[in-house]
Amino acid sequence: MSAPLVVFDKVEKQFGDFVAVKQLDFEIREGEFLAIMGPSGCGKTTTLRMLAGLDAPTVGEIRLGGRVMNDVAPHDRDTPLVWQSLALFPFLTARQNVEFGLKMRGVGAAERKERALKWLEKMGILEFADRDISTLSGGQKQRVALARSLVMEPQILLLDEPLSALDAHLVIRMQAVLTDLQRELGITFVYVTHSQSEAFAMADRVIIMGKGEIAQIGTPKDIYRAPANQFVAEFVGRNNILSGNVQALSNETARITTPSGNFTVPTNTVQLTQGAKASFVISADLVHISLGEPDGENKAQCKLISEEFVGSMVTLFLEDAHGQEFKVQMQERELSKFDLNSGDQIWLSWDTASAHVLDQS
């Protein structure tokens, strides 16, 4: 693997007494689509702003292509940002907006126009080139904002929740536009979002942040199937989290006692000790349901509380006799075989390999 494009070296940022981010220690690879995800106030936007030079790190170093960026002014960087508010200049037309960065870089009028029009065409909004920004729709503005950044032909594009103001159907369309663009251009995208679906749909790797620190870095699949800790497991949401004590240890598995029963978990990721506290998760889509008691080591009897449909997928919300909540995700046509009603008692079960033990620290 080639040298990383961006390195965050023990970066910390304080605003007065408030520590916005700390111990930021990660790399961004050349050409990857990296998503930084976390709840509001987790420091994800601050991280992006430091990369753009709009905030300076209090401690640590940020390197871009090997060059230390801490003291480089924002206008001397090649890190265009697509803003949450889009931040299009209302006093300029669509084309003039796209030309703005080139004008600042001293590109001549003729070349500026040509490059701006090329990008507006690429984004499918050439016909709106001479339109006033305020007359464009949300999706069109979005494309102008993307064109304005990409016309600079940067090595890295920063995106700060750019889709959060769009309608749901437009979000899906723009996700496709973004992933296609990223693949075609081969440049690095750093995408900040609070939306798990956006991050998981588009990113090669995801950084989960919480309270100013990195909670986990990994591929969407890693994070979804094997959350590193309770915070990530809860943030990702579609997980069943069970806690108890280690009752017995064998080579590759452990038996954990919880109020809801005893369960077997694989121990290949975390070192467990006899009698210690342990938590584990099972993704909601890896849980099976049955009316009769199933075979196997991992099972729980639950009462159906409610159902939630999203397209052809359905999420069941259940609770066992000890108040432990469970979520099960499955295809609607599969569920319809069972003919369930709220309050029905059913059995849940899962394979030992589906469980994932969380890091307690």
Partner 1 sequence: MFSKLSRKLNLFALTWRLPIIIWQFVFFVGPVLFMVAMSFFLVKNYRMTEAFEFVNWSKMMNRGYFWDSYWYTVFIAAVSTVCAMCIAFPAAFALAFRASDSTRRWAIFLLIIPFFTSYLVRTFSWFVILSESGVVNAMLGSIGLGPFTMLNTNFGTLVGYMTLTLPLVVILQTVTMANIDKTLVEAARNLGCSAFRTIWQVIIPLSKTGLIIAAIFCFILSFGDFVAPFYLGGSQEPTLPILILDTTKSGQQWPRAAVVAIMMMLTLFAIAFIGIALAYRKPKGAK
Asked if residue 79 binds partner 1 (CB under 8 A), the reply is: yes
- Binding range to partner 1, per CB under 8 A, among 12-20, 56-64, 76-84, 245-253: 76-84
Asked if residue 168 binds partner 1 (CB under 8 A), the reply is: no
Distance CA 257, CA 255 (A): 7
Say if strands 239-249 and 253-258 run parallel, antiparallel, or are unpaired: antiparallel
Q: Nearer Cβ to partner 1, position 18 or 91?
A: 91
Asked if residue 81 binds partner 1 (CB under 8 A), the reply is: yes
One of 87, 248, 291, 313 touching partner 1 (CB under 8 A): 87
One of 130, 184, 295, 339 touching partner 1 (CB under 8 A): 130
Asked if residue 188 binds partner 1 (CB under 8 A), the reply is: no
Q: Nearer Cβ to partner 1, position 33 or 100?
A: 100
CA-based max dimension of the chain: 75
Q: Which 101-120 positions form the footprint of partner 1 (CB under 8 A)?
A: 101, 104-105
Query: Which 3 state secondary structure label does DSSP give 40?
Result: coil
Nearest distance from C-beta of residue 147 to partner 1, angstroms: 12
Q: Is the separation of the CB atoms in 151 and 78 below 8 Å?
A: no
Asked if residue 44 binds partner 1 (CB under 8 A), the reply is: no
Strands (E), the chain: 6-15, 18-28, 33-37, 59-64, 67-68, 81-82, 156-160, 188-193, 205-210, 213-218, 239-249, 253-258, 261-266, 277-283, 288-290, 299-310, 313-320, 325-331, 345-349, 355-357
Asked if residue 126 binds partner 1 (CB under 8 A), the reply is: no
Asked if residue 288 binds partner 1 (CB under 8 A), the reply is: no
One of 34, 69, 120, 152 touching partner 1 (CB under 8 A): 152
Task: Give the sheet arrangement for strand 355-357, strand by strand.
Answer: 261-266, 253-258, 239-249, 277-283, 355-357
Query: 65: which 2 tokens?
Result: 């292509």
Q: Nearer Cβ to partner 1, position 74 or 237?
A: 74
The residues binding partner 1 (CB under 8 A) are 52, 54, 73-77, 79-81, 83, 85, 87, 89-93, 96, 100-101, 104-105, 130-132, 148-149, 152
